[in-house]
Structure 1
Amino acid sequence: MNVHPLTALMAEWLPDCDFAVLNHGFVTHGRDYQLIIQDCISGRPGTHRLTFTHVVRADCQTALAPSGWSTSWDDVFLDWERSKDMDGYIWGTNWSNAYPGITALNDDAEASDWGRQIGRPMYAATLETDRFKLRLIFHAVRSEKIDDDSSLIRQVIIPLKA
């Protein structure tokens, strides 16, 4: 049995929660899905690119309840400075906190079915943030450290001392 690539990455350095998702979506060619994250609690703090390869399914939906949408509908919530003292969800932070976080889904029936049809191992994972819920079915995941910047996530996450 193959080791889930996300499990391997999490064992190496990727925390399961409390990292900032700065950007996410399909890359230009449309096969792979990319996350730009910022982390301050692992042994590799900084900004990282996670690339999920050979993505056959990507589902993204809101994590906000209807009441959150109702109170945050106006475009003023796209601007941090103008909305920071208002009641509602502030979209203008331009990032979301990975909580409850990222999960490798072992023995996922749909990923197994894709794997049988393609003839290559396929895996499933979810990522839940304060803003969205994402589910991916993919073949592999690569990580690349972009830089040492973790200044954004350090404003809200205080690493616990071991």
Structure 2
Amino acid sequence: MDPVKLQRALDEVFDHALLRHGFVDYMRDYQLVIHMTADPRTGVAPATLRYLFRYCVQARCATTVAADIWRDSLDDRLTSYQTGVDLDGYVWGVNWQRLYPGATLIADSPTARDWSAAIGIDFHEVRIKTNAHDLTLVFSDLQIEELLPAPRGSERQPLS
């Protein structure tokens, strides 16, 4: 994948809502599910996209929430917006994270270079920071697709 196109795709999700992330069911590829919105005056419709990082050989996730905030955020009521909104602490139950400061392609990554040499295809390393997590992914390709909303009255379907 062309690094310029990859960085452009990463730039497009800056400051949008990360709904969930993790390996897909078959455990090879890693996904970010992102809800993108714009000021209604722009006429740009909201969309939910899946960023699928294919052939993901490394996925690291660390918290960006400070230890003192964690200490104040252990109450299980904070895992639901309805029960946690009026409590002190980080309300985990908002069920999304702001993609800020965003995603960056790591230029000349030694890890990506080593995997490229070992497997024989290009690999890339990206760092994705949100207000709650710091992700580092090493992968070969990125596929982006729009996820259609579930039909009214139906339960949300698995993504993979």
TM-score of the superposition, structure 1-length normalised? 0.82
CA distance in 2, matches of 1:51, 1:64: 25
User: What residue in structure 2 maps to residue 56 of structure 1?
Assistant: 57
Assess if the C-alpha contact under 8 Å between 2:34 and 2:49 holds in 1: yes
Assess if the C-alpha contact under 8 Å between 1:96 and 1:130 holds in 2: yes
Q: Which runs of 5+ in 1 are unaligned?
A: 149-162
Q: Which runs of 5+ in 2 are unaligned?
A: 150-160
What aligned pairs does 1:103-122 form with structure 2 within 5 A after superposition?
Answer: 103-122=104-123
2:136 aligned with 1:138, yes or no?
Answer: no
CA distance in 2, matches of 1:44, 1:66: 38
Assess if the C-alpha contact under 8 Å between 1:77 and 1:90 holds in 2: yes
How far apart are 1:91 and its partner, in Å?
0.3
Assess if the C-alpha contact under 8 Å between 2:125 and 2:136 holds in 1: yes
CA distance in 2, matches of 1:66, 1:13: 28
Q: 1:38 to 1:10 in 2, by over 3 A?
A: farther
Q: Deviations over 1:108-134 (max 9, x none)?
A: 111011101111100000111111110
- Percent pairwise identity: 34
Which of 13, 25, 28 is the matching residue for 1:28? Answer: 25
User: What residue in structure 1 maps to residue 153 of structure 2?
Assistant: none
Secondary structure of residue in 2 paired with 1:72: coil
Secondary structure of residue in 2 paired with 1:60: strand
How many residue pairs are counted as aligned between the two chains?
146
How far apart are 1:12 and its partner, in Å?
5.8
How far apart are 1:9 and its partner, in Å?
4.5
TM-score of the superposition, structure 2-length normalised? 0.83
